[in-house]
């Protein structure tokens, strides 16, 4: 549990408290009462800034994601090779997820996960989302909108990885794909695989740049001898 300076502005104290509580407990187990107590502020003050727990959590992860995406955008727009961009992207991703692992696990599993019995998949025909209901009742529109906005946070960083891979294909550095979907699915599985590896915590002692170099090399060139 962090110690929060009571001299800080109330909004800042609330966000620091929220970051600590959500990072320790995830979304479902965290409570506004815990956040209020840690921030040393009144319940009315919190509700004057954030109407509910979901609004507070979204603000927290959205602010962090905005800074993350800006760093990734700088990588994608740098005057370097697609290979160097891929390696730099993976390094930034590893560093960010390691710092925010519980928050982003909550984002993946509790906010956009399929534990509710329904989820979205990529629709090849439209290039958009397709709702799939595996069990139970279909979600109401409010639930759909809630999941979509969290999903969009993840996509904002994912799209930049897809752009880097597509740039490599367009420049003839990476192997060509039959269409854009090939790049999309490659990016999706790379993004998801790296995320899961971090969430499982199997490589925390290794330097992010070292891991990123290995992933980029094996992802592009594989293990087979040519």
Averaged in consecutive runs of 10 residues, what is the pLDDT profile of the chain (226 residues)?
Answer: 85 94 93 94 89 94 97 97 97 96 93 88 80 93 93 95 95 82 90 93 83 94 81
Q: Which neighbouring-strand residues pair with 208? A: none
Among residues 8, 103, 97, which one has the least CA distance to residue 61? 103
CA angle 24, 25, 26 (to 5 degrees): 110
Question: What pLDDT does residue 170 have?
Answer: 92
CA distance 153 to 195: 14
Q: Are 124 and 137 in contact (CB under 8 A)?
A: no
Q: Are 129 and 120 in contact (CB under 8 A)?
A: yes
Three-class SS of residue 226? coil
Q: Are 46 and 36 in contact (CB under 8 A)?
A: yes
């Amino acid at each position: 549990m962090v110690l929060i300076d009571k001299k800080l502005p109330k909004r800042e104290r609330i966000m620091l408290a929220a970051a600590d509580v959500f990072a320790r407990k995830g979304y479902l187990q965290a409570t506004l009462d815990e956040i209020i107590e840690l921030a040393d502020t009144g319940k009315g003050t919190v509700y004057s800034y954030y109407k509910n727990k979901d609004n507070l959590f979204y603000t927290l992860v959205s602010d962090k994601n905005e800074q993350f995406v800006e760093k990734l955008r700088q990588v994608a727009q740098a005057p370097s090779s697609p290979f160097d961009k891929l390696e730099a992207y993976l390094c930034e991703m590893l560093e960010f997820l390691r710092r925010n692992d519980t928050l982003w696990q909550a984002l993946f599993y509790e906010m956009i996960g399929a534990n509710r019995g329904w989820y979205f998949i990529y629709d090849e025909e439209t290039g958009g989302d397709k709702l799939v209901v595996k069990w139970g009742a279909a979600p109401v529109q409010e639930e759909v909108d809630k999941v979509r906005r969290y999903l969009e946070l993840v996509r904002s960083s994912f799209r930049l990885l897809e752009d880097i891979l597509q740039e490599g294909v367009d420049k003839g550095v990476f192997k060509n794909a039959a269409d854009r979907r090939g790049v999309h699915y490659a990016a999706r599985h790379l993004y998801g695989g790296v995320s899961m590896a971090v969430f499982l915590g199997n490589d925390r002692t290794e330097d992010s740049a070292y891991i990123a170099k290995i992933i980029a090399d094996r992802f592009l060139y594989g293990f087979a001898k040519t």
